[in-house]
Amino acid sequence: MSGLAKLQQQFMDLLQGESSDISEQIAQQGQLNTQQRLSIYQSAYKIRLRAVIEQDHEQLGIYLGDDLFEMMVDGYLALYPSTHTSLRIFAEKLPDYLAANTPFSDYPILADIAKFERLLLSTFDASDKTLLNVSELESIEPQQWPTLLLKLHPSVQLVVFNTLAVESWQAIKQKQTPPEPRVSEPRFWVVARDAQRRTQYLSVDAQEYRLLSLLKQNTPFAQLCQSCLNELPGEKIAGFLITKINQWLERGWLISE
């Protein structure tokens, strides 16, 4: 290993909290000793990454409280050091960490809040597409409808939680007491940008969630209709779906392809 390679590895070992001989490489000078000089870099490393987690997961941090938040940061940093050039991605595995490591894994709502916050981030900077408008929809010939593939905007994300994660997140954001962290019936959510690029989230029922999931899978309109056969009389399905499609259109969830 070259001198440069050895020095850089020793420096990274120091930041990672591993055994390192870097102090032997540091010149003695001025009013600070070697340990003080190295500790500036050690502190900056943790402060910077901690700040990323705090910024990306603000409500989770409040929900956890200071002590558990610090425990989470230390644990996450040890297991998931940054392997990306962008800090935007650094905390991407935080939901996985919370779901798999005690004491956090004893409370599934924590991983769900973290996942919800990551979805908000993904929605915020998802790619831009031209939105589908009413006249485009109206210009579709009747014979084209069965094979019609409606496309969701890239910012539209679907998630199911069996906890009151979103309700708790919302309560914390509004500085209110969150509900008890009980396991709930499945709750279906859509996170998406609106036409003004504002990030929104909306509770939907199981049926709408299923329809949106089918759109994500590039399912043609005829199959959307078929998927409703157990829930609606046949003659009402098309009208029901047209109403839904118009709602999605107004929310800016459908794109023009």
Partner 1 sequence: MTNRFLGFGLGLRAPHFEQIIADKPAVDWFEIISENYFVAGGKPWHYLNKIRADYPIVMHGVSMSIGSIDPIDKDYLNQLKNTIARVEPHWVSDHLCFTQVGGINSHDLLPMPYTSEALDHLANKISQVQDYLGREMIFENVSSYLTYNDSQMSEWEFLAQLHKQTGCKFLMDVNNVYVSARNHDFNAMDYLSAIPSTAIAQIHLAGHQDFGTHIIDTHDEDVPDAVWDLYAQYAKTLNPVSTMIERDDNIGSLDDLITELEHAKALVKPFWDIRS
* Residue from the set 50, 57, 115, 193 that interacts with partner 1 by CB under 8 A: 193
Measured distance CA(95)–CA(85) in Å, rounded: 20
Using rule CB under 8 A, residue 84 touches partner 1: yes
15 touches partner 1 (CB under 8 A): yes
Between helix 206-216 and helix 234-251 the angle, nearest 10°, is 70
Residues 150-169 that bind partner 1 (CB under 8 A): 154-155
- For partner 1, the closer of residues 75 and 154 by Cβ is 154
Establish if 26 lies at the interface with partner 1 (CB under 8 A): yes
Q: Minimal CA–CA distance to 197: which of 166, 167, 155?
A: 155
Residue ranges in 117-146 that form contacts with partner 1 under rule CB under 8 A: 123-128
Classify the phi-psi angles of 178: left when phi > 0, otherwise alpha if psi is within -120 to 50, otherwise beta: beta
Transcribe 154-202 into DSSP letters: TT-EEEEEEESHHHHHHHHHTT-PPPP--EEEEEEEEEEE-TTS-EEEE
Smallest CA-to-CA distance from 155 within 214, 200, 213, 210 is with 200
Segment 100-109 long-range contacts (CB within 8 Å, at least 24 positions apart): 101/75, 103/68, 104/68, 104/72, 107/181, 108/162, 108/163, 108/183, 109/163, 109/164, 109/165, 109/168, 109/181
Tell me if 55 contacts partner 1 by CB under 8 A: no
In whole angstroms, the minimum distance from the beta carbon of 36 to partner 1 comes to 8
Nearest CB to partner 1, comparing residues 155 and 168: 155
CB of 239 to partner 1, least distance (A): 34
Choosing from 19, 31, 102, 139, the residue that interacts with partner 1 (CB under 8 A) is 31
* Distance between CA atoms of residues 160 and 206, nearest Å: 10
Contact between 41 and partner 1 by CB under 8 A: the answer reads yes
Does residue 197 touch partner 1 according to CB under 8 A? yes
Contact between 20 and partner 1 (CB under 8 A)? no
Binding residues with partner 1: total (CB under 8 A): 48
Binding of residue 182 to partner 1 (CB under 8 A): no
Residues in contact with partner 1 by the rule CB under 8 A: 2-5, 7-9, 11-12, 15-16, 24-27, 29-32, 34, 36-38, 40-41, 44-45, 48-49, 81-88, 90, 123-128, 154-155, 193, 197
